[in-house]
Amino acid sequence: MKGFGEQSKSRDKKFQNSSSTISSKELLNKALKCHSKGNTKEAKTYYEIYLKSGFLDPRVFCNLAVILKNLGNSKEAFNILNKGIDYYPKYAELYCNLGNLKRELGELEEAELLTRKAIEIKPNYFDAHTNLGAILQDLGRLNDAKSSTLRAIQIKGNITTAHLNLGSILDDQGCIEEAEESTRRAIELDPELEIGFINLIEILKNQCKHQEAISLCIEAIEKFPDNQFFYQSTAKLIKYINLSEYKLNDIEQLLEILLDRIDLDHQDLFSVVSKILENYRKSYSFNPLNRIIDEPFFAFFSNHPIIIKSLSKLIFSSLYWESFLTQVRREICLEVASNHHLKKDINKDFINYLAQQCFYNEYIYKVLDSEKESLISILNRCKGEKFNEIDISILSSYYPIHKFIDSVSDLCNYNSLNNSFNQLLLTQYHEPLDEIRIGKSLKVFGSIKDETSLNVKDQYEEYPYPRWIYTEFKRAAKSSFTKVINHEIRPNKILSKPIQKESSVLIAGCGTGQQVVNAQRYKNAKITAIDLSSSSLAYAQRKITQLGIKNVRFIHMDILDLPKLNQKFDVIESSGVIHHMHNPSDGLKALSSALKGNGFIKLGLYSQIARDRLGDEAKIMSENIDEEDDRLVEIRQQIIAKNNSNSSRLFRINDFYTRSMFRDLCLHVKEHRFTIIQLRDFLDESHLRFLGFLLPQSIKSDYLLSYPDDPYQLDLDNWNEFELNNPSTFLAMYQFWASRM
């Protein structure tokens, strides 16, 4: 909203009977001076006194409205601008500001009319042309939006806003190279343009220019160290980094920065951590007769800060490093059991972090009989004498502390001088204890009676899924749900809706809460999260409490009971859920019953073609697999031993490397799969309209090359053909948005 400080022809207009002890000019100058210095509170006071004194000036109406809008008082700002227009019906800035306010409220048609009125009054009004371009872009009229923005550039060619907006419009049109050029021009005009860096990174990602994008992210982190977007984008892009283009020390420093953050998914970092480890490993020679823990490489490995941090922040999702860590754990276990102590040159912190890694992967590593015997010896030693920390660290590398703590006196309230050991106690004892307490206090709605629902519930009570450590969490940069959806379904687009004071969001089948945290990207959202598993919900509640999230209520219930909840939602997310129900159609029917008439639903369903690519390994069904037996680990080891083309695809999936995720991936008690044709019929039955898949831009670009006559990428017959030709497209499920017809 503009208008600040501009001269006006009718500046000292005043009611006839008003009186004041201060002149209008003096009062106005005080207000403008305060406003220019950023003292908006005092400026607001002076503007209000000015108007209450009977003085009139269109700039005061504009500037006061700006302050009120920024304070969140849009209604008052709206009234002030309308009042200004009553007095100054030919003052273009008032119409432009009111149009901008209407746009922010999602009232786009009125915003367009008001902005065009401003241009009618003042044909060369740069701000009005720029704003009109943005409004038309929101309305999906991209050609008109481009024309308006180019007109603004004709009027003032060196203003960053117009070039930035033009880049965004061109990006929406699919003219990505031109979009990049316009956005770079904006940054050239203002090298500190934060939003310019954000937009350019997204544009580069959409062109698969990953190396340029990661370089720009690193530059942006130095320029804007407080903006979480650049750290989160770096984490997602770092797998593409060309190690040869950077000093290894610089990459490691960057990794340390990312590993220290709690607002991103550290699993994204593993590929580059693995590359660095592989480079180091190649520089060492190994004696096959030696134990790994006697090798020089292990001394390096167990003391390197990146490795130490990674063990406690992400899963080492690689068969090679799994085998390496399994052998290291075994050798240390046997060493401690036989010698009652650890080799002097082994870092004690490393043992604690290895125990964290094993806890996070839920003890998926293979255990030999020799280890089992050693563990019995170590545990008996802890029972019979005052325990030592190394013994506890070794034991907790094989099963969580809360499982054996009753056998070890004084461990419950123990406080170590070693921070990594205290963290081990927190993670493996205190936090699981908190989850038990939370589980007892969860809100319960209805009762779970469906046989399949009960079986699925049992699985997730035993194996809460997914057991995440950290995930992407947007604290500040939140967007309306229409903007979020448009970003995910592009090149398709839905029209912006009037902004609500509060949007209702349902996460149906929320599991351990990762989706709940990701849903913090929605602006003004009130979230309801439901799940069959109280263990999963307790984990979720603990995690969001740690993150300080307060806009969520958890309910322990079955999706089938949603109609009885008697609540409608603006947005529903249910990813990877209803394909585990007895009848997915009943699940979708229940979800649809809770969706507002103008609401949107995001679904995730297994692809028949993609799952077939995983072969028989992903079709194994097993009953009565329990955390206390070794059957699950044995089945997984059998898959590893096969090492054929199908199983090798499984090895590239992160879910293969933790117990609960492997169970969900390969051994689920119930699973339905769909083709795209079945998906289309499935949506038609529920009167839902397909809005677009969530896929990497590279895949969407390939689709567009194959089907240029489907620019919005909505033809499911085309997508069916595309998947048949590219069977790995939906390996991570069909994920898509839909709305009511």
From the list 155, 629, 119, 62, the residue with the least C-alpha distance to 363 is 629
pLDDT at residue 17 tops 90: no
CA distance 511 to 466: 7
CA distance 237 to 214: 6
Q: Once rounded to an integer, what is the mean pLDDT over residues 127-149?
A: 95
The HSE-up count of residue 687 (CA atoms within 13 Å, CB side) is: 9
Q: How would residue 621 be classed by pLDDT, with cut points 50, 70 and 90?
A: very low
Respond yes or no on whether the N-terminal peptide bond of residue 466 is cis (omega within 30° of 0).
yes
Q: pTM, whole model, 2 decimals?
A: 0.89
Q: Once rounded to an integer, what is the mean pLDDT over residues 660-665?
A: 92
Q: How would residue 18 be classed by pLDDT, with cut points 50, 70 and 90?
A: very low
So what's the pLDDT on residue 498? 65
Q: Once rounded to an integer, what is the mean pLDDT over residues 503-509?
A: 97
User: How large is the C-alpha radius of gyration of the chain?
Assistant: 30
Q: Which of 19-28, 107-116, 163-172, 343-352 has the lowest mean pLDDT?
A: 19-28
Q: How would residue 23 be classed by pLDDT, with cut points 50, 70 and 90?
A: confident
So what's the pLDDT on residue 735? 98
Q: How would residue 645 be classed by pLDDT, with cut points 50, 70 and 90?
A: low
Concatenate the DSSP letters of all residues of 212-259 into one string: HHHHHHHHHHHH-TT-HHHHHHHHHHGGG--GGGS-HHHHHHHHHHHH
Q: Once rounded to an integer, what is the mean pLDDT over residues 1-30?
A: 59
Q: Once rounded to an integer, what is the mean pLDDT over residues 170-192?
A: 95
Long-range contacts at 546-554 (CB < 8 A, ≥ 24 apart): 547/262, 547/473, 547/517, 549/516, 549/517, 549/520, 551/520, 551/525, 551/526, 551/527, 552/516, 552/527, 552/528, 553/443, 553/527, 553/528, 553/529, 554/442, 554/443, 554/510, 554/529, 554/530
So what's the pLDDT on residue 698? 87
Q: Once rounded to an integer, what is the mean pLDDT over residues 319-334?
A: 96
What is the per-residue pLDDT across 54-100, written as a single tens digit (0 to 9) for each?
899 999 999 999 999 988 888 899 999 999 999 999 999 999 999 99
Supply the mean pLDDT for the chain: 91
Which of the pair, 114 or 242, is modelled with greater confidence?
Answer: 114
| pLDDT cut 70: percent of the chain above it | 94
Q: Once rounded to an integer, what is the mean pLDDT over residues 297-322?
A: 95
pLDDT at residue 20 tops 90: no
Q: Which of 268-277, 337-346, 718-727 has the lowest mean pLDDT?
A: 337-346
Q: How would residue 627 be classed by pLDDT, with cut points 50, 70 and 90?
A: very low
Most confident residue range from 90-94, 208-212, 609-613: 90-94
What is the per-residue pLDDT across 451-478, written as a single tens digit (0 to 9) for each?
999 999 999 999 898 889 999 988 777 8
| pLDDT cut 90: percent of the chain above it | 75
**Contact present, 611 and 664 (Cβ < 8 Å):** no
Q: Once rounded to an integer, what is the mean pLDDT over residues 563-576?
A: 96
From the list 106, 154, 102, 98, the residue with the least C-alpha distance to 126 is 154
Q: Which of 226-240, 318-332, 340-354 has the lowest mean pLDDT?
A: 340-354
pLDDT at residue 369 tops 80: yes
pLDDT at residue 619 tops 70: no
pLDDT at residue 503 tops 80: yes
Q: How would residue 9 be classed by pLDDT, with cut points 50, 70 and 90?
A: very low
